[in-house]
Amino acid sequence: MKLSYCIVNTNGREHLPACLAAIDAGEEDEVIVLDNASDDGSAQLVGDQARLIALRQREGKAANDSRLLSEARGEYALLLNEDAELHPGAAGALVRALDDDPRAAAVGAQLVSSEGEPVPCAWRLPGVGPALAVATGVQKLLVTQSGGTRRREAGWCQSSALLVRRSAAEEVGFLDPDFFVYSDETDFCKRLRDAGWRILFDPAAVATHHNQLSTDRAAEGRRLAEFHRNRDLYMRKHHSTGERLLTRALWVLAYLERAVFASDRRRMLRHARHELVGGSGDGIREAAGAARPSVPEDPSGS
């Protein structure tokens, strides 16, 4: 089997049907939906459109994607969020990218907003240099690696629409479940690169990303805590203490600079505070553990 479409769904009733409808699977492809203990009835919308893996307890995005990569039968697995919609020809462009480069482990699509505007979705790997570029206002020039019209190598790509060579993912042990959400794909791409693989970005493949998580204003505090906690975890895992602290200081400076001019000044200041303390406090992980939605037994035993 060449291609497995692998979708993580967490309370995605609003977006999951469109995500599934946008998939143009061939007769020999497969579509898998991992339902992350949803309590909005979205899992029941899958029907016979895909193989359903229904979790009874919510897990993190890294654990979800690792489960899908291990369950998939295709040579390639296209990781998708439930709020992502592939544009026509996107899957084919991503497959061609990996076919053309046997040492490429993953390739990311160009993501566009709900309004159709391209959004940054590929970057250099985090560190002192990229943080300095952000603090000095040259992020778009030196850190962001998406955009343009040509396929290119990147440090890491967002996993909302990311095609992965399953053999490479298995080689590095899939994604690290210590990253509940945020920085999980950054760490994954870093480990793939360390193992000698390449990460690509291909603007010929386009997907709309509705960014469901960021629109939940009620959960913004938990989201910011989780974001900065996991960025700190990445730095602890891959960099020295000195590099981690210097990077943190540069990011705090960047957020304070943005707060001076930003319309959402308070949000930038909250970012600065969470960055300063490494994302302490309750995040999305704690919310998921506390909620423990009641989900019926999966008769398949998954």
If one counts the domains in the chain, the total is 2
pLDDT of residue 167: 98
Say if residue 147's pLDDT is above 50: yes
Distance (Å, rounded) from C-alpha 44 to C-alpha 22? Answer: 18
Same-domain pairing of 158 and 24: yes
pLDDT of residue 287: 82
Same-domain pairing of 142 and 264: no
Residue 16 sits in a domain whose CATH number is: 3.90.550.10
Q: For residue 161, is it within any domain? A: yes
Beta strands in the chain (DSSP E): 3-9, 30-35, 51-54, 76-81, 84-86, 104-112, 122-123, 152-153, 156-157, 161-165, 198-209
The predicted model gives 60-66 an average pLDDT of 97
Q: Is 284 in contact with 223 (CB distance < 8 Å)?
A: yes
pLDDT of residue 297: 36
Q: Is 118 in contact with 112 (CB distance < 8 Å)?
A: yes
Please name the residues in contact with 119: beta carbons below 8 A apart, sequence gap of 6 or more.
111, 112, 113, 146, 209
pLDDT of residue 301: 38
Look up tokens 């469901």; give the residue.
212
pLDDT range class, residue 212, cuts 50, 70, 90 = low
Say if residue 295's pLDDT is above 50: no
Residue 47 backbone zone (phi > 0: left; psi -120 to 50: alpha; other: beta)? left
Same-domain pairing of 49 and 194: yes
pLDDT of residue 224: 93
pLDDT of residue 141: 94
The predicted model gives 95-106 an average pLDDT of 98
- Model pTM score: 0.92
Residue 92: domain span: 3-214
Residue with the bigger pLDDT between 217 and 32: it is 32
Same-domain pairing of 146 and 240: no
pLDDT of residue 218: 59
- What are 150-197's pLDDT values in tens digits? 999 999 999 999 999 999 999 999 999 999 999 999 999 999 999 999
- What are 257-268's pLDDT values in tens digits? 999 988 889 999
- What are 275-292's pLDDT values in tens digits? 999 877 888 888 887 443
Q: For residue 298, is it within any domain? A: no
